[in-house]
Structure 1
Amino acid sequence: MKKITTIFLLLSISLFAQKRPKVTVSGKIIEATTNQPLEYATLILTSVKTKRVTGGVTDGKGNFSIEIPKGLYNMKVEFIGFKTKQLPQKKLTESTNLGTITLSEDAEALDEVEIIAEKSTVEIRLDKKIYNVGKDMTIKGGTASDVLDNVPSVNVDAEGAVSLRGNENVRILIDGKPSALVGLSGTDALRNLPADAIEKVEVITSPSARYDAEGTAGILNIVLRKGKITGFNGSTNLSLGNPDLFRLNGNINYRTKKFNLFSNLGYSYRKGPGNAFSDFTNLNNGTITGFRTETRNYERKNNNYNGSLGLEYYLNKQSSITGTFFYRDNTGDDLATNLTNLFDSNRVLTDVINRVENETEDGNDKQFSLNYTNNFKNDGQKLTVDFQFSDNNEEELANITDNNTLSELNSQLTTSTNTLFQIDYVLPFGKNHQLELGHKSEFQNLNSDFRVRDANGLPLSPDPSNAIDFKQNIYAHYAQFGSKFDKFSYLLGLRLEITDIDLLLLNTGEESKKNFTQLFPTINLGYELNDTDNLTLGYSRRLRRPRFWFLNPFETRSSATTVFKGNPDLNPTYTNSYDFGYTTRIGKLTLNSSIYYQFSTDLIRRVSIIEERDVNGVDTNVFVRQPVNLNDESRYGFELTTNYNPFKWARLSATFNYFRFKTDAFTYVFTAPDGTQASTFLPEVDNDSWFARFNSRITLPAKIQWQTRIMYRGPQENAQGNREDMFVTNLAFSKDLFNEKATIVLNVSDLFNDRRREGTTYNPNIENPTTIAYQEFQWRERQITLNFTYRFNQKKKRERPQGNFDGGGEAF
């Protein structure tokens, strides 16, 4: 009864407040010296009569629009690092535009301070959510993979694969573009990108037309830090850990009114122990004919050097040109020991195979980027031109021994060049309308030469060696128009993408060409119910192009009985996505929720088949996994994210995501080793899964910060098996030193050492299996890290004001 009375009272007060006459105060805040708009600048209004304080913050163009009751107000404008500006007292009886307000830098403050947010904040836009990465302790001393694993809606599995809302087909960008930071092996690169280099992560589940159509789940855009304050500043970061970990990173930034020089340097060494276990049961019409177990241990050593140097030169107050060079050198020494035990139907041991793969890796990535930006007369009109060229090289050499006898010498050399050209133009109409046009061309040329030789350097028979030439050219054009009427916003777009893919198998001369032209419409709508509640609705059409490693038909060699190979005949997957979101703030509680639906055609999934092969003179069932195009899949679910700060010393947040998916039945036809046609029937799948995440941050005595992060992923089934649930716990303790110039953190990742993928596969299907395979895989074991960060001419900012301006671009 008390709750009902309270709710009724609040509704009454709200209704009464809405009846009070209100006016709108608007204007623009810019930097005095450069005329650049200031985002997150704050206008504070204090009622002379009631002493009530209200206000708001500016959007990406420096604009503000605040609805307040009529009355006499004192006004001032604040922005960290700038002098507070007191405005004349004004009686506001009608909607008023204060015009353009200029702020000047506070020279004393800028000599000392570079703003670094302590607490992660969230910005809601029409087509994305922006997570400004704060000093969350479980990512301190960590990597980009750790950052992504802390972002709501995102999961990073035991192998480092990134998924968004349970879907692994997510496009990862760096500063809005493909990057050499991701390189040929994206998951490995993300583990080498330090968390401290990341300013924010954009989760784009309903991408507008300005974004690539690639990625059926959506886009994750990682935005790196660049100094924005005049003067010299930087930081250095040292991490030590067990298993062996040493990481040293540093960044420096020097900015004047004419140029901005920035650089990042880093070195890391780590051992990555991992393990896997498989238990195979062979059947014939339901009768067990034998067993096989495989126990695999991984010992990985990795050395990584990376550095970047960039210079932004301000041509005038409205335009600048930026050049950036990035280089990374990575070496690895991986030892995989695979012990295979063969048993008869009574579990009597019949044979033992000890297969050891010793692989060395040497790769380097180079990338040059050039950007030109012109904001014209700060009226919102903007032109950006980007050029980017990257060169990636990777060499892998592996020796394989069976029962202590050298059996194979393997090598793989992969080279890739990528060229990108992009131009974007923004043209505003009036105050609340905006047109955007753009073009993008992207060219990839990749060559991979994989060779297998016996101990004498001679080809095997049959020879699994192969080499490919892969070319992919993408041409894109887009247009979109956005507008805002009172509390309603919309952003409508259309993107055209032309794709040319050419795959040549050099060993056989076979060639696979894929050419397709597709339109990708996008619709994003938003409605502000009031100051604390808003609704969003989005639609987008997306695609998933098969990557070269899914097209390359070579087989992995670390196990003679469990292999993976690509499929040159893969087609892209197309997905229509719908997303309805609701955001509200109730006191100290912020709640983001959404309902989503996706329908995909030509779904790409890995399918397992059994082939009988000669392994060391014994006819053995070999487990072969290959990606294929299945039929259609529908997926729907809902997501709930909450942030609650009940006390100054406690911050709590939680994420819950439930999804259900249905995949049509499918018959996979393939060519057996003897040349005959065979097939595997995959029944219809109608199943669900969910995952949840909880974070708490508690301030202990002596200002020690204690953070706990708990993640649970529910079980899931597919046409050929199931995946078991997973539970992960991370802990961290943090303490600021030397007047907040330094921070020391103790971080324990995977406290209970339970982060492993477990599941069972039935081949050819669950209803009539000939092989049942139970498998466990743990990519890396529990990690304990001690991290120390020192900042010079930088201080932590307690909390930056959070904007509530909906939009997908500069203004919407």
Structure 2
Amino acid sequence: MKIHIVLVALLSSSFLFAQNTITAKGKVLEQGTNYPLEYATVSFVDPAGKTVEGGITDMDGNFAIEIPAGTYTVKYEFISYKTIEKPNQNLQSNTTLPTVYLSLDSESLDEVVVRAETTEVQVRLDKKVYNIGKDLTTSGATVSDALNNVPSVTVDVEGAIALRGNENVRILINGKPSAIAGFGSTDALRQLPAEAIERVEVITSPSARYDAEGTAGILNIILKKEKTLGLNGSVQVNLGVPLSSGITGNINVRTDKFNIFNTTGIRYRESPGNALFETQYLNANASNPLVIEDRDYDRLNRGFNTNLGIEYFLTENSSITASGFLRLGDDEDLTTNLTSEFDAANALAVMRSRIETETEEDTSLQFSLNYVNNFSDDGHKLTIDLQAEDDRETETSLIDEFNTFPATALLPSEFITQKEDQNEYLVQADYVLPIGENAQFEAGYRGTFEKTTTDYLLTEQLETGGPFIRNDSLSNVFVYEENVNALYTQYGNKFGKFSFLLGLRLEDTQLIGNVTGEDITTNDDFDVNFDNSYTELFPTVNLVYELGERENVTLGYNRRINRPRGFFVNPFPSRSSEANVFQGNPSLRPAFANAFDLGYLKRWQKLTLTSSIYYQRETDAFERVSEDTGEVTSNGVPIIRTIPINLATNERYGFEAGILYNPAKWLRLNGSFNLFRFKTEGFFNGVDYGTVNNSWFARGSSKVTLPSKIDWQTTAFYRGPRNDAQSETEGILSINLAFSKDIMDENATIGFNVSDLFNSRKRITHTETDSFISDSEFQWRERQFNLTFTYRFNQKKQRQRGGRDNGDFEDDGDFGGS
């Protein structure tokens, strides 16, 4: 009987204890801007002054803390903000506390500025978010330049963007494919000012919400959109050497019912470059086995871009945003190629000059409509997006060639006109449903429908000074369509310190290619007309375990796809010189990859460490190979063709680490290191292209505040030697230097920076095949000096804290937090 009484007492006390444990929820925002304050501390203090329980806010400023029922003083704290205390809060049941707004502590304002001028990192279930602070080296630079300062990302001398050394990376703008980022090209990112970026999301383990495209992962560029009430904005003017100039204006009007925003920029930029190619032909039929090409590039880029949008708040929880983007480009490039040919006795046999004058006119127009309905504060949400884009590009190239040794003689010229028209439509819907305290369900649809028409016309002189005649064997119209319909669903939950997000994405893809031309019916190597369709499933798994409030471990798995772009499947060659051509491969199949990522994050008071180990296995991986076609130019030079092919497998694995360290108010340091190994296996035309590539890259940045509040920043980047199946490339070192000072009561800033201080950003490559050996040195753009002036009106000095825009797709509700 006594035993029964004891058991009943124990059960009753357990029941009463469970009944007396409640959950207190709420939100912490910044006063005036409504920015969510992540990592704000919320404490519950009993009448005796003892802190009973506490916690921190997530990326949305939300908190949910279990406490015993009782009466408390609730204390809200955040570094450099005034602490708020709410006494005598009688909490007897699950309660949602009123939203609390913290204001800046004027005595700590200097510390806030220090935090704001540092690149901050946030780790979420499927991404790392880098809030680009006041990076002086990118002042007056482009978006492409700014990306080169983001950990895990590299931008090579030609502007190709890679993630962890892999160039198959998907570029999104505000979570969606966009004309702003270019269509299968990153050229447009060189035309946009870096000042337009709010933050960059490095998504190495994308959740099911995102496109499965991009075996390396996704870079999501979030553009600025001011949230402050009233009229505010900024203007930046820059002038540089070699001659470059630009002006960018940003204006925002915000009321309780609508938000109008516009960013407009004009750019003029000269970008001189150079290259040297030395090719030794091993073919006994080559009349002159040694050919040296010395090239000079004089590029002139003129551009205009504007983005105008209005967000209208239908209700307190819903809004609709309409925006339009226009980009105009007018470029002129002059390439002078001096070719020297040497005979078997190494004596100069022929010298000729090839001058290519190229003009390019671009027009990109994009309209988008976004609807957001936040049904409740706990993340119940519906988002619908519609987007239409039109991109037109016209290139003309006049190629004049003449011998200068042993005698001067004018050679026949050729004139090339290429017109590319691209239309793309996007339809997307995402639905998020919270389930209970910690669980969340999500589902959505995305359809992208893209059509590209490339009209290539080659006319040439059959004899010097003669009329230009159409080359019917090369002139063609290539139409390429890519249609992708996708459905996805994902579910996430959190149990104590463990969180997970499981997803599955279904994508149905159709790739259609069609070539028309007067003399084009078949091709010996390819079927120039094709219609390929396939349906695939792409699972994703993302896990987080919190070792502490500022320490966690993440594990991610996802399956990805690399679809061949139009340039890679267009069967008709483009020529960088008469003897070097690139030809697409219509038989190229998509590549598939399985990727794993194990990450670790630790935050101290002044130091943040991020690190990860990753592995990826890709089948049917793309590889560019160069081979002797067996044909020669009219001057007897063998023609080398570069073509993309599917190799059997490509394994990639590596380690990366990043450190953000602020030891003092006057000194800020950050650095990152990435070591990787690629192993490729496969044969093509009987040749083994298997190779192992060990490489690494590192970057470091220091920022020092000098007397008179002058900021001095130095950024260094080194990319280690690397190799592929045929080539070895030497390491590249580049250093950027910048100075900045606030003037006019901190409403304006004047800055000066040097890009590539030692003029060392050059790609030096050695290539060996059975038919030729080649050495090359290429510099896309020479050292640049730049002076900038920025004026801000009705706008605080920019503080990056990773606030969210209603129209963005970067959040994952409760499962985006670390």
TM-score surpassing 0.5?
Answer: yes
Q: CA deviation at 1:648?
A: 1.5
Counterparts of 1:530 and 1:71, CA distance in 2: 26
Give yes or no for contact 1:309–1:326 (8 Å, CA) kept in 2: yes
Report the secondary structure of 2:195's partner residue. Answer: helix
Q: Name structure 2 gaps, 5 residues minimum.
A: 1-20, 107-111, 403-409, 522-527, 805-809
Give runs of aligned pairs for residues 663-702 of structure 1, distance below 5 A. 663-666=680-683, 668=684, 679-702=685-708
Report the secondary structure of 2:627's partner residue. Answer: strand
Counterparts of 1:655 and 1:81, CA distance in 2: 28
Give runs of aligned pairs for residues 316-465 of structure 1, distance below 5 A. 316-403=315-402, 405=411, 407-455=413-461, 458-459=468-469, 463-465=473-475
Q: CA deviation at 1:397?
A: 1.1
Show CA shifts across 1:43-95 (max 9, x none): 45497988999976533444214699999975444789999754115699xx9
The corresponding residue for 1:810 is 813
Give yes or no for contact 1:41–1:77 (8 Å, CA) kept in 2: no
Q: CA deviation at 1:142?
A: 1.3
Show CA shifts across 1:277-301 (max 9, x none): 1000122589997210001111111
Compared with structure 1, are the counterparts of its residues 37 and 692 closer, same or farther at alpha carbon in structure 2 (3 Å cutoff)? closer
The corresponding residue for 1:42 is 40
Compared with structure 1, are the counterparts of its residues 628 and 46 closer, same or farther at alpha carbon in structure 2 (3 Å cutoff)? same
The corresponding residue for 1:256 is 255
The corresponding residue for 1:490 is 500
Counterparts of 1:441 and 1:300, CA distance in 2: 37
Give yes or no for contact 1:270–1:303 (8 Å, CA) kept in 2: yes
Q: CA deviation at 1:511?
A: 1.0
**Between 210-219 and 580-589, the greater mean CA deviation after superposition:** 580-589
The RMSD of aligned alpha carbons is 3.3
Q: Which of 486, 489, 508 matches 1:479?
A: 489
Give runs of aligned pairs for residues 504-653 of structure 1, distance below 5 A. 504-507=514-517, 508=520, 510-616=528-634, 618-653=635-670
Are 2:709 and 1:709 equivalent residues in the alignment?
no
The corresponding residue for 1:18 is none
Counterparts of 2:97 and 2:359, CA distance in 1: 60
The corresponding residue for 1:119 is 118
AA aligned to 2:553 is: L
Give yes or no for contact 1:400–1:409 (8 Å, CA) kept in 2: yes
Give yes or no for contact 1:282–1:288 (8 Å, CA) kept in 2: no
Q: CA deviation at 1:687?
A: 3.0
Counterparts of 1:721 and 1:325, CA distance in 2: 44
Counterparts of 2:654 and 2:548, CA distance in 1: 26
The corresponding residue for 2:774 is 773
Counterparts of 1:719 and 1:33, CA distance in 2: 57
The corresponding residue for 1:27 is 25
Report the secondary structure of 1:795's partner residue. Answer: coil
Report the secondary structure of 2:179's partner residue. Answer: coil
Compared with structure 1, are the counterparts of its residues 24 and 561 closer, same or farther at alpha carbon in structure 2 (3 Å cutoff)? farther
Q: CA deviation at 1:194?
A: 1.0
Report the secondary structure of 1:431's partner residue. Answer: coil
Counterparts of 1:629 and 1:548, CA distance in 2: 16
Compared with structure 1, are the counterparts of its residues 61 and 701 closer, same or farther at alpha carbon in structure 2 (3 Å cutoff)? closer
Give yes or no for contact 2:311–2:321 (8 Å, CA) kept in 1: yes
Counterparts of 2:624 and 2:802, CA distance in 1: 46
Counterparts of 1:75 and 1:146, CA distance in 2: 46
**Between 325-334 and 276-285, the greater mean CA deviation after superposition:** 276-285
Are 2:729 and 1:726 equivalent residues in the alignment?
no
The corresponding residue for 1:751 is 757
The corresponding residue for 2:15 is none
Report the secondary structure of 1:796's partner residue. Answer: coil
Give yes or no for contact 1:129–1:203 (8 Å, CA) kept in 2: yes
Show CA shifts across 1:260-292 (max 9, x none): 100111100000111111000122589997210
The corresponding residue for 1:207 is 206
Give yes or no for contact 1:491–1:524 (8 Å, CA) kept in 2: yes
The corresponding residue for 1:784 is 785
Compared with structure 1, are the counterparts of its residues 552 and 714 closer, same or farther at alpha carbon in structure 2 (3 Å cutoff)? same
Compared with structure 1, are the counterparts of its residues 53 and 593 closer, same or farther at alpha carbon in structure 2 (3 Å cutoff)? farther
Compared with structure 1, are the counterparts of its residues 288 and 333 closer, same or farther at alpha carbon in structure 2 (3 Å cutoff)? closer
Counterparts of 1:289 and 1:336, CA distance in 2: 24
Report the secondary structure of 2:708's partner residue. Answer: helix
TM-score, normalised by the number of residues in structure 2: 0.88
**Between 481-490 and 181-190, the greater mean CA deviation after superposition:** 181-190
Report the secondary structure of 2:189's partner residue. Answer: helix
Are 2:333 and 1:306 equivalent residues in the alignment?
no
AA aligned to 2:601 is: T
Counterparts of 2:625 and 2:280, CA distance in 1: 18
Q: CA deviation at 1:589?
A: 2.0
Show CA shifts across 1:172-211 (max 9, x none): 0000001111234632211111111111100000000000
Give yes or no for contact 1:612–1:620 (8 Å, CA) kept in 2: no
AA aligned to 1:782 is: R
Give yes or no for contact 2:717–2:733 (8 Å, CA) kept in 1: yes
**Between 257-266 and 504-513, the greater mean CA deviation after superposition:** 504-513
Show CA shifts across 1:215-265 (max 9, x none): 000000000011112111100111110111101000100011101100111
Give runs of aligned pairs for residues 177-326 of structure 1, distance below 5 A. 177-184=176-183, 186-284=185-283, 290-326=289-325
AA aligned to 2:127 is: K
Q: CA deviation at 1:514?
A: 1.3
Q: CA deviation at 1:651?
A: 1.0
Percentage identity across aligned positions?
48
Give yes or no for contact 1:290–1:346 (8 Å, CA) kept in 2: no
Show CA shifts across 1:549-590 (max 9, x none): 111122223410111121111111101000000111244221
Counterparts of 1:386 and 1:36, CA distance in 2: 24
Counterparts of 1:741 and 1:536, CA distance in 2: 41
Compared with structure 1, are the counterparts of its residues 151 and 51 closer, same or farther at alpha carbon in structure 2 (3 Å cutoff)? farther
The corresponding residue for 2:525 is none
Report the secondary structure of 2:199's partner residue. Answer: strand
Counterparts of 1:520 and 1:798, CA distance in 2: 38
Compared with structure 1, are the counterparts of its residues 406 and 182 closer, same or farther at alpha carbon in structure 2 (3 Å cutoff)? farther
Counterparts of 2:603 and 2:36, CA distance in 1: 25
AA aligned to 1:227 is: E
Q: CA deviation at 1:717?
A: 1.8
Give yes or no for contact 2:131–2:802 (8 Å, CA) kept in 1: no
AA aligned to 1:282 is: Y
Give yes or no for contact 2:29–2:37 (8 Å, CA) kept in 1: no
Q: Which of 87, 96, 99 matches 2:96?
A: 99
Give yes or no for contact 2:199–2:802 (8 Å, CA) kept in 1: no
**Between 574-583 and 788-797, the greater mean CA deviation after superposition:** 788-797
Give yes or no for contact 2:36–2:803 (8 Å, CA) kept in 1: no
Counterparts of 2:756 and 2:44, CA distance in 1: 49
Give yes or no for contact 1:30–1:101 (8 Å, CA) kept in 2: no
**Between 40-49 and 734-743, the greater mean CA deviation after superposition:** 40-49
**Between 186-195 and 276-285, the greater mean CA deviation after superposition:** 276-285
Show CA shifts across 1:721-747 (max 9, x none): 211111111111111112221111111
Q: CA deviation at 1:212?
A: 0.2
Counterparts of 1:512 and 1:799, CA distance in 2: 48
Compared with structure 1, are the counterparts of its residues 173 and 406 closer, same or farther at alpha carbon in structure 2 (3 Å cutoff)? same
Counterparts of 2:251 and 2:54, CA distance in 1: 35
Counterparts of 1:213 and 1:82, CA distance in 2: 41
Give yes or no for contact 2:30–2:103 (8 Å, CA) kept in 1: no
Show CA shifts across 1:125-155 (max 9, x none): 0100001111111112211112111110000
Give runs of aligned pairs for residues 161-172 of structure 1, distance below 5 A. 161-172=160-171
Show CA shifts across 1:788-811 (max 9, x none): 1111111226675999xxx97111
Q: Name structure 1 gaps, 5 residues minimum.
A: 1-22, 669-678, 764-768
Q: CA deviation at 1:459?
A: 3.7
AA aligned to 2:96 is: G
Give yes or no for contact 1:34–1:317 (8 Å, CA) kept in 2: no
Give yes or no for contact 1:279–1:291 (8 Å, CA) kept in 2: yes
